[in-house]
Structure 1
Amino acid sequence: MVCPFDRAQALELRQREQAITAVLARKRPIGPSLTHCKDCDREIPAARQALGGMTRCVPCQSIFEREVR
């Protein structure tokens, strides 16, 4: 007999792996980052610019993603 806790743990592990795979499969922006946000003109932090292809600061990107959904 399989322990319900083992089944729950296996299910949680599968769901976590699927979520990680989905995030990694998303398209990422490429190319150089802007130095200032294209929406609010605030400076984009250097750590965010290092990711490449960033055009918005974090607050503006969050708003943009909420509106797209």
Structure 2
Amino acid sequence: MANGWAGDGAVQDQIDSTIEDAIDRARRQMPSGESRTHCEECEAEIPEARRKAIPGVRLCVRCQSEQDAQTTYSSYNRRGSKDSQLR
């Protein structure tokens, strides 16, 4: 069922695009390379199990949790917004 000028499946396409953007953002934020033995922030030792589980890890669990809590982003897909179509 089409809504206005939108074609069939336009809503699902927008949802899929938003999910793909979130996945791409998460992949770009993943560490890579050689893991550090000590945290960049607090110099605490990073356990070997964490270093093996996450290649390229640079922060201990506590510092990573704090950084994740501070990270905010909009999950609104601007490509499909009416405002962007009207400009």
TM range (shorter): 0.5 to 0.7
Change (3 A) 1:17 1:26: same
Greater radius of gyration (CA): 2
Task: Report the AA paired with residue 49 of structure 1.
Answer: R
Matched, 1:55 2:61: no
Cα distance in structure 2, aligned partners of 1:9 and 1:19: 15
Gapped regions of structure 1 (runs ≥ 5):
none
So what's the TM-score if we normalise by structure 2?
0.48
Can you give the 5+ residue segments of structure 2 that lack an aligned partner in the other structure? Answer: 72-87
Percent identical: 23
* RMSD of aligned Cα (Å): 3.4
| TM-score normalised by length of structure 1 | 0.56
SS of the residue corresponding to residue 22 of structure 2 reads helix
Aligned residues: 65
Alpha-carbon contact 2:35-2:58 (below 8 Å) kept: no
